[in-house]
Amino acid sequence: MLRFLYSPVQSRMSSICHDNCQVPVSAGKSKPLRFLITLANPHRRLRAGTATDNPDPMLTLIKNANVLAPEPLGHLNLLIGAGRILWMGEDKPSLDPRLLAEEVDLEGLWLTPGLIDGHAHITGGGGEAGFATRVPPVPLSQFTGAGVTSVVGLLGTDDVTRSTSSLIAQVRALREEGMSAWCYTGGYHCPPTTLTGSVRSDLVHIDCVLGLGELAISDHRSSQPTFDELVRLASEVHVAGLMTGKAGVLHLHLGDGERGLSLVNRALDETELPPRVFHPTHINRRRALFEEACELSKRGCWVDLTAFPPSDDTDEVGAAAAIGEFLAAGYPADKLTISSDGGGCLPVFDKQGELVKLDFGRSETLLQTLRQLLQNGQPLGRILPVFTSNIATLLRLAGKGRLQEGADADLLCLDETGELRHVMALGRWHVRDGEQVIKGTFET
């Protein structure tokens, strides 16, 4: 049993109790250390939906960090242990050196929450141009090496040769390898593919399932769901969310169809379903769709950009440009999210539905978009919520998207240009000095 206890009603000194060993710890001049770690079982989970079954019992002290939580907090020191942020303060705490695994001086570099990729094909996507175009599963380092410490997986066009069960298995694999992961049940089509036989049952009985997605609308690859089918599925996820405390989100793939978001607007007009249930993605694939989504955000819906790779499509709105326009126009800043479509197929079709071009999504486009925004003069504290806290709030991801005491220790260290220096996921370094130090099971 390892027990670390400090209470402000105690004296300024507390102790680490390991068997019969007492080791004094001083809180220093700043605010008291207020935390409690109990590691009765070293293999217990720290928190539902997160990774690191075997947290490091030693402490890491991070010094001189320019913290954006995502709002700017100035230069702080952080104490990390058992996968969590245990303490944050201006003064360096005085700790017995036997407790520290390491002490890291960031010398004023930015420290931010880890990025949350809310839409990734973790089992691989694709298949629109034949079986040979099925993308393989995305390995751990393609997420953490791009600053992504939390991911939400889903199925897309191919919800036949890929299944909800394989998706859940990949979520569990990524957790075992050291990052946080969840998923949606279903896929493009209606009725949705499930594990237990119904969408509501999947959400209620499977811990990592947060909602239904990506259900396709306004796309020739969709099942052409009717209004009644759409709102019935939305009600399923909403009620399951009420039962479980989960997000209960209907994550909607938007295609190039001219109907755009008309079904969602009609649902808000004609039903009692709350706006937060509907989360449309790929909203920047057409200028008219982006403008429609901006207006939808004013009705209370979170709307999701895709960090598409650079394209020659003049009607597409680049992710960095879309974020800049959205914020400058005064739309609700807390209702905008961004995801990568990592591992997914990014096809281009002609008017006859024939494939003319094919690319694939990568999580690294999130960080590329962030850097582009910085180059455009956007303050990091203004744009960071789009990549972190906004999606954490929508999906009710406890301990994610913010740097605060008690939150998961998912950290990015960036230089002034946005280049990635270090990545910590649940208290373990995955990237140090730009080098990947933890890789997936089958990575070399």
Query: Catalytic site residues?
Result: 341
Say how far apart CA 354 and CA 363 lie, in whole Å. Answer: 27
For residues 140 and 177, is the Cβ–Cβ distance under 8 A?
yes
Q: How far apart are CA 378 and CA 374, in angstroms?
A: 5
Q: Provide the 3-class DSSP secondary structure of residue 342.
A: strand
Angle subtended by helix axes 319-328 and 287-297, to nearest 10: 40
Q: Contact at 8 Å (CB) between 52 and 15?
A: no
CB distance 410 to 113 below 8 Å? yes
Give the chain's length: 444
- Continuous H helices in 2-156: 141-144
Positive or negative, the CA dihedral 120, 283, 322, 71 is: negative
Pure H helices in 15-163: 141-144
Report which of 153, 162, 146 is spatially closest to residue 49, judged by C-alpha positions: 153
Distances 429 to 27, 55, 80, 207, 417 between C-alpha atoms, Å: 25, 12, 11, 26, 21
CA dist., res. 113 & res. 404, Å (int):
10
State residue 276 phi and psi, 5-degree precision: -65, -15
Residue 30 is classified by DSSP as: S
Confirm if 424 and 409 have CB atoms less than 8 A apart.
yes
Ranges of beta strands (E only) in 301-352 are 303-306, 336-339, 345-349
CA dist list (Å): 87 to 29, 117, 397, 404, 406: 13, 26, 20, 8, 8
Ramachandran area for residue 353 (φ above 0: left; ψ -120 to 50: alpha; else beta): left
